[in-house]
Structure 1
Amino acid sequence: MSPDGPGPLAGFGVTFSTMFKKAHTESYPEEKRPTATRYHGRHQLNRYADGLEKCIGCELCAWACPADAIHVEGANNTEAERFSPGERYGRVYQINYLRCIGCGLCIEACPTRALTMTNEYEMADDNREDLIYGKDKLLAPLDDGMEAPPHPMADGATDEDYYRGTVR
């Protein structure tokens, strides 16, 4: 043995001991394992119980994004066309997944919990333009009893009722 330590024999010992261990291989595309419950995957724009969008077009998510991956253009709701309760809605909402680092700062910045992250992680594509998700890909699907916007707020409800979660 050398005065500096175990020397090359220790290295050979590690190699020799791992030669007979069973290899751990995942069959990824065929067998998908569940992700952790709090995994940060693809973003989702949520809706209220009647189908109106939660996004109010405030652009706080875009300002909070360190990678500059979010683009939001807010617009005013009208009585003829109402997409969200209150005065404004996100007319244009885009997330560039070529830039997104999955940090979740946009989620923390959202005052209405309109933006959340799902467990979906398969977003690979061979076209750069297809990795810029717009509202068509980001909006949560309509559940039973929901009506696609634009439509008026629930009878007798105010925007505060929506934000407090008392509208069903």
Structure 2
Amino acid sequence: MAIKKLTRPKLTLSEKLIFPTILKGMAVTMTHAIKSVLGKTKAAESLKGSGTGATMQYPETKWDDQLPEYYRGVPALVTDEIGRERCVSCQLCEFICPPKAISILPGEIPSDDEWAKVEKRPQEFDIDMTRCIYCGMCEEVCPEQAIFLRQDYAVTGTSRENMVHNKERLYEIGGVREGLVNKWNEVK
């Protein structure tokens, strides 16, 4: 096998000197400074900012109106129109979750219940929001369409315990979702 020796390209005089590079950087900075003084920055128009910079004024201004429809945010559990749980504790979302943020403890449905054919429902369903990466795999794998990623992106808490959403909190966030649910289908 032949060895091929590569030679580096020769630098020009302006590339050898650092001064032209510094001037280019200063020109970019001055361009941004002049645009911000004239109020022609992105923040002045699209971000609804003060116009003096390219920074969004976060607590007052939010991204809500600029999020695309396909944005995946906070995961939440949903119920059907009657208020029944859609989740059947299949644990597919728990197994597929890359950061292992979901934990489910299945519970049985009593045999005297009207919907005892379903066999189980979640006794505990927790999502650790400090670990969740909003990948959407839990939503895609759910056979009963019980978990959805909402467009909420600002999840805050004062402690780690507050960032672990339990079943009640997840249903509160998710609300009601209409449509066919395989779990309650009489034919299935």
Contact between 1:53 and 1:84, CA under 8 Å: does it hold in 2?
no
Deviates more, 1:30-39 or 1:93-102: 30-39
Match in the other structure for 1:148: none
For 1:25, which of 55, 80, 96 is the aligned residue?
A: 55
Larger radius of gyration: 2
Match in the other structure for 1:166: none
Distance in 1 of aligned mates of 2:59 and 2:102: 29
Distance in 1 of aligned mates of 2:94 and 2:110: 24
Summarize the Cα distance change of 1:66–1:13 in structure 2 as closer, same or farther, 3 Å threshold.
same
Is 1:133 the counterpart of 2:165? The answer is: yes
Q: Which has the higher contact order (CA 8 A, sep 6+)?
A: 1
Summarize the Cα distance change of 1:84–1:32 in structure 2 as closer, same or farther, 3 Å threshold.
farther
For 1:2, which of 10, 13, 34 is the aligned residue?
A: 13
**Aligned-residue identity in percent:** 28
Match in the other structure for 1:45: 77
Q: Tell me the C-alpha RMSD between the 2 structures.
A: 2.7
Unpaired stretches in structure 1, ≥5 consecutive residues:
144-157, 164-168
Is 1:159 the counterpart of 2:159? The answer is: no
Summarize the Cα distance change of 1:129–1:7 in structure 2 as closer, same or farther, 3 Å threshold.
closer
Please, what TM-score do these two structures have when normalized by structure 2? Answer: 0.68
Counterparts of residues 1-168 of structure 1 (less than 5 Å): 2-4=13-15, 6-22=20-36, 23-34=53-64, 35-81=67-113, 86-139=118-171, 140-141=174-175, 159-161=184-186
Contact between 2:81 and 2:176, CA under 8 Å: does it hold in 1?
no
Judging by fraction of residues, say which structure has more helix.
Answer: 2
Deviates more, 1:134-143 or 1:97-106: 134-143
Contact between 1:83 and 1:89, CA under 8 Å: does it hold in 2?
no
Unpaired stretches in structure 2, ≥5 consecutive residues:
1-11, 37-52, 178-182
SS in 1 for 2:103: strand
Contact between 2:86 and 2:144, CA under 8 Å: does it hold in 1?
yes
Superposed displacement of residue 119, structure 1: 1.2
Superposed displacement of residue 129, structure 1: 0.4
SS in 2 for 1:19: helix
Contact between 2:102 and 2:126, CA under 8 Å: does it hold in 1?
yes
Distance in 1 of aligned mates of 2:76 and 2:115: 16
SS in 1 for 2:31: helix
Aligned residues: 149
